[in-house]
Amino acid sequence: MEGRPAVDDAALGRAALAVLDANWTGVSTMPAPGVYPHQWSLDSAFVAIGLARHDTARAGQELLSLLAGQWRTGMVPHIVFHHAGGYFPGPSMWRSAEAPDAPGGTQTSGLTQPPLHAYAVWRVWQQAADRELAARFVRLAWPSLVAQQAYLETRDVGGAGLAAIVHPWESGMDDSPAWDEPLATSEAGRCGDGYHDRYFRLAVLCRDHGYASSYYRDEHPFAVEDPLFNGVWLLSCDAMARLASEVVGADPEPFLEAAARIRVALLDRLWDDAFYARDVRTGRLVPVCTIGGFGPMLDPGLPRHVVEALTSLLESTRFMGATGYPVPSCDIRAPEFDRGQYWRGPSWISTNWLLSRAAATHGLDRLSEILVASTLRLVRQGGFRECFDPFDGTGHGCRDFSWSAALTLDLLGR
Ligand code: 9WN
């Protein structure tokens, strides 16, 4: 696809499906074969969403193979390793086999990622042509989704109703400036070394404490309430309620209550003039506006005045209004903004897609259409790259990146 921009929607759709086929292992979809040759949790949710309209069976298999790596605590790991090599840190660092709660026979990481899975299951259900097949899939996935919800409750380190991430890798936005301050003040970030040394040290701390929620609550130096992670959790709580009443025949009420609790906590804990990440260890809001701050817009019940404030920030010259290829992953006026560095400036198909959904949810049709059109322009011009320069649209990182292809398919179907 690189260097051969597809001119019409049909060709773009075929190119996107070809990327997903090439990255499919027969069990799951690699985010990018050379760089990420295993299964990542958030990526699998996006892939399933993209396949939902095209291939119910494969979308289902994608999610079920991920859920097969779920821990007995209910944690859905951020990586399921399907072989030993090709990525650092690999199974020999995570040592999941030694963790009492890890599944037997499957090697995984010991962290999680934004819990988009219930929402992805809902999308597969909603769009499947074969209703029987989709209903069977939902029933198979349901117990794992319920367990995942219970696990997320154990991550309420701050005691206010939000899940805390215990490592930047859990956010899906690894190098975001939102983690600079919590890392700098934490033991794990005390040296003046690069991000990735710090990230490694922090992962080793998690491992050496058995990946235990009690350790995270009482001692672990990095605990951050992230608006995107929790906005995604809320979206999945809503999806759980729908799946419960429409498919599974379960009581939707506990999931609606969970969504309401997260909504209140997001506003109480993370809202100021915008949404910020909160460092639970220091109690401080991290004073940098990033793309993660728009995560709560995924909530259909977000109060109107908050939606309006977020929309005007998003459309301002700090985000969409300043760049030709929105949406930059960091406020372009922030000192931390860097147009070329992962999650510190570039535009991503995943966050553009989440924002286009959020805009549609709130009836902001024009904003949603702009986001869809500008996202399709990025992949038409640059290919299914991992991320893009927000000013000139140049692609960065991996080529033929699965979630960029998958979400393109979904956007084409709007
Ligand atoms: C660490 C796989 C993953 C995505 C994340 C993205 C990046 C990994 C890395 O790649 O993270 O998990 O090595 O940087 O930030 O969102 O899930 O595509």
Instruction: Pick the range with the lowest mean pLDDT from 86-95, 122-131, 187-196, 360-369.
Output: 187-196
User: pLDDT by residue (tens digit) across 186-225?
Assistant: 766 555 567 788 999 999 999 999 999 999 999 999 999 9
- Dihedral angle over CA of 378, 379, 381, 386, nearest 10: 80
Q: Is 1 a residue whose pLDDT tops 50?
A: no
Q: Is 181 a residue whose pLDDT tops 70?
A: yes
402 CA closest ligand 1 atom index: 18
43 lines ligand 1 (CB under 6 A): yes
Query: Any catalytic annotation for residue 174?
Result: yes
pLDDT at 187: 62
pLDDT at 344: 98
40 CA → ligand 1 middle, Å = 8
35 CA closest ligand 1 atom index: 13
CA distances in angstroms from 349 to 1, 111, 169, 285, 329, listed in the order given: 16, 23, 18, 27, 11
Q: Is 3 a residue whose pLDDT tops 70?
A: no
3-state per-residue secondary structure call for the chain: CCCCCCCCHHHHHHHHHHHHHHHECCCCECCECCCECCEEHHHHHHHHHHHCCCCHHHHHHHHHHHHCCCCCCCCCCCEEECCCCCCCCCHHHHCHHHCCCCCCCCEECCCCCCCCHHHHHHHHHHHCCCHHHHHHHHHHHHHHHHHHHHHHHHCCCCCCCCCEECCHHHHCCCCCHHHHHHHHHCHHHCCCCCHHHHHHHHHHHHHHCCCCHHHHHHCCCCCEECHHHHHHHHHHHHHHHHHHHHHHCCCCHHHHHHHHHHHHHHHHHHECCCECCEECCCCCECCCCEHHHHHHHHCCCCCHHHHHHHHHHHHCCCCHHHCCCCCECECCCCCCCCCCCCCCCCECHHHHHHHHHHHHHCCCHHHHHHHHHHHHHHHHHHCCCCEECCCCCCEECCCCCHHHHHHHHHHHCC
Q: What is the mean pLDDT of residues 21-43?
A: 97
pLDDT at 29: 98
71: left (phi over 0), alpha (psi -120 to 50) or beta: beta
CA distance linking residue 246 with residue 225, whole number of Å: 31
175 lines ligand 1 (CB under 6 A): no
pLDDT at 196: 80
Contacts with 344 (C-beta within 8 Å, 6 or more apart), sequence order: 175, 176, 177, 329, 330, 336, 337, 338
User: pLDDT by residue (tens digit) across 399-410?
Assistant: 999 999 999 999
CA distances in angstroms from 245 to 118, 177, 236, 248, 255, listed in the order given: 14, 40, 14, 6, 11
- pLDDT-based confidence at residue 4 (cuts at 50, 70, 90): low
113 CA → ligand 1 middle, Å = 10
- Dihedral angle over CA of 189, 195, 204, 289, nearest 10: 70
One-letter amino acid of 229: F
Q: Is 6 a residue whose pLDDT tops 70?
A: no
Per the residue annotation, which of 62, 156, 225, 386 is the catalytic one?
Answer: 386
32 CA closest ligand 1 atom index: 18
Q: What is the mean pLDDT of residues 260-284?
A: 98
Query: Any catalytic annotation for residue 386?
Result: yes
42 lines ligand 1 (CB under 6 A): yes
CA distance linking residue 118 with residue 247, whole number of Å: 13
pLDDT at 195: 72
**Candidate of 30, 174, 228 to mutate for ligand 1, largest count of ligand atoms within 8 Å of Cβ:** 174
Nearest CA to ligand 1 atom 5: 172
User: In this structure, are residues 91 and 81 in contact, taking their beta carbons and an 8 Å threshold?
Assistant: yes
Spell out the long-range contacts of 308-317 with Cβ–Cβ below 8 A and sequence spacing 24 or more: 309/273, 309/274, 310/274, 310/275, 311/359, 311/362, 311/364, 311/367, 313/274, 313/289, 314/355, 314/367, 315/367
169 CA → ligand 1 middle, Å = 7
36 lines ligand 1 (CB under 6 A): yes
User: pLDDT by residue (tens digit) across 383-393?
Assistant: 999 999 999 99
CA distance linking residue 42 with residue 54, whole number of Å: 19
Q: What is the mean pLDDT of residues 251-269?
A: 98
pLDDT at 7: 67
Per the residue annotation, which of 9, 174, 315, 336 is the catalytic one?
Answer: 174
